[in-house]
A and B are shown apart, each in its own frame.
Chain A
Amino acid sequence: MLTDLHKHLLNDFQRDFPLSPTPYRDIADTLGVTEAEVLAALAELNEQQYISRIGAVIPPNHIGASTLVAMAVPEAELQTVADQISAFPEVNHNYEREHRFNLWFVAVAATAQQLQNVIERIEQQTGYAALQLPLVDDFYIDLGFKLDWQHA
């Protein structure tokens, strides 16, 4: 079960995480708890898979090269192909979606050439063509994800 502390940690610190030497103690002071309680609660959220990490969101293509990729994979092979693709360290998101193009993932590399090498290896290993859909423009200002506890 999520405690009030968990909920505050999930909702209130998605952006502007303190850039002080002791960010967790600053958060603890804001919430009126101890630093140890904050660290323990964040570790619990991490273990229970409520958070992916405490970290930075970096806009695509500002450092390195990245692309969204779509693949059309027969249903019977989807799990196997998805696992092959997830095994690449260059792949960070990998989802099944309801469409003929049913596998969607994001691949990232240091250079455009390295990215193409990764895509080629993925195509060779899986035997399916990769439809590359790299970013052209980003209209979204990321302020985090507003959570609605009322209906959770």
Chain B
Amino acid sequence: MLDAKDFALLAQVADGLPLCPRPYAQIGMELGMDEAEVITRLAALKAQGLIKRLGVIVKHRPLGYRANAMVVWDVPDDLIKELGTYISRFSFVNLCYQRPRQPEWPYNLYCMIHGKDRATVLAQLEALNEASALADYDRQILFSRRCFKQRGAVYQRTAMSS
């Protein structure tokens, strides 16, 4: 089970590691743990899947990936896991989620595709359609325009003790 120290640590590393020679020692100082405890706890959180990955988190746009589309489909509930798992294997698919349909928004399968330009993203989407049954279902393509904010999740630490 996670304890309050794990929650505090997750909040801290979601926000970012400091750029200094002993980053885990520095985080530990702020949270009242020694360096070894920080490292042991982070390794355990990774092993449990509570840290999906730890490393450099790039911004796509400055690196030339200017086209980003959120594509949503309305697929049968009994096929969604199979379809979602299948399209997640394509290298240009960056996220793949199921979300609930809403009255004004009848879509349940979401994926994110990043590409250098719009034509590339549309070609990639076409490849997905050809390789799967997705072409049969209603979909919407929502290219992004302005990015107003991008950063790690900030969890309010005060209410996190469990």
Q: List 18 A-B contacts (CB under 8 A).
A: A15-B53, A15-B54, A16-B53, A17-B17, A42-B56, A46-B19, A54-B16, A57-B152, A68-B99, A94-B147, A95-B146, A105-B149, A133-B100, A133-B105, A136-B100, A136-B108, A138-B98, A152-B63
Which range contains the number of B residues in contact with the other chain? 35 or more
Top 10 nearest A-B pairs by Cβ distance? A139-B84, A53-B16, A110-B159, A137-B98, A94-B149, A17-B55, A97-B142, A55-B16, A96-B145, A15-B53
Within 8 A of B (CB), among A55-109: 55-59, 62-64, 66, 68, 70, 82-83, 85-86, 89-99, 101, 104-106, 108-109
List B residues 1-41 near A (Cβ within 8 Å).
2, 7, 10, 13-17, 19-25, 35, 39
Residue of A nearest to B68 (CB): A95
Determine the residue in chain A with the shortest Cβ distance to B114: A145
Contact B58 A51 (CB under 8 A): yes
Q: Contacts A39-B19, A63-B2 known; A145 to B60 CB distance under 8 Å?
A: yes
Would you call A14 and B58 a contact (CB within 8 A)? yes
When A14-B53, A99-B140, A110-B156 are in contact, do A139 and B58 touch as well, CB less than 8 Å?
Answer: no
Does B154 contact A108, Cβ atoms closer than 8 Å? yes
From B14, B23, B96, contact of A58 by CB (8 A): B14
Q: How far is the CB of B44 from chain A (nearest CB, A)?
A: 10
Q: Which positions in B face A, CB cutoff 8 Å?
A: 2, 7, 10, 13-17, 19-25, 35, 39, 42-43, 46, 49-60, 62-64, 70, 80-81, 84-85, 87-88, 91, 93-100, 102, 104-105, 108, 114, 116, 140, 142-156, 158-160
**A residues within 8 Å of B by Cβ?**
9-10, 13-17, 19-25, 35, 39, 42-43, 46, 48-59, 62-64, 66, 68, 70, 82-83, 85-86, 89-99, 101, 104-106, 108-111, 114, 131-148, 151-152
* Minimum C-beta distance from B30 to chain A (A): 15
Give the most central of A63, A101, A131, A151: most B CB within 10 Å. Answer: A63
Give the shortest distance, in Å, between A62 (CB) and chain B (any CB). Answer: 6
Q: Do residues B55 and A86 form an inter-chain contact, with CB atoms below 8 A?
A: no
Residue of A nearest to B104 (CB): A131
Q: Is the CB of A49 within 8 A of B116?
A: no
Across-interface contacts of B85 in A (CB, < 8 A): 139
Nearest-Cβ distance from residue A108 to partner chain B, whole angstroms? 4
11 additional contacts (CB under 8 A) given A39-B20, A55-B54 = A9-B56, A19-B24, A56-B13, A58-B10, A64-B156, A94-B150, A110-B155, A136-B108, A139-B98, A145-B114, A152-B63
